[in-house]
Structure 1
Amino acid sequence: MTDAFEQASMRRLAASHKRKTVRDGTSAPAVRGGDWRLATVTAVGTGTVTADGILARCMETYANPAVGDLIRIDQSSSGNWVAMGRLAAANGVAWTTPTLGTGYTQGNTTSTGNNNGAVRYRRINVQGTWFMEWDGGADRANGAQTANLLSAVLAVGLRPVRKASFVIARNATSITGVAASTSVVHSLKLDFNQDGTVTLISATAGDAETNWLSLKGIRYPLD
Structure 2
Amino acid sequence: MDTDSDTEFSKGWLEWFLSLKGSEFFCEIDEDYILDRFNLTGLQAEVTYFQKALELITDSLEEYSESQAEEIENSAKHLYGLIHARYIITAAGISKMLEKYKESAFGYCPRVHCNNQPLLPLGITDVPGKYSVFLYCCKCEDVYNPKQNRHRSVDGAYFGTSFPHMFLDTYPYLKPQLSESEMKKFRYEPKMFGFKLHAVSHIHKWQDLKRSEMVARILNDS
**TM-score band, normalised by shorter chain:** under 0.3
More helix by share: 2
Normalization by structure 1: what TM-score? 0.26
More strand by share: 1
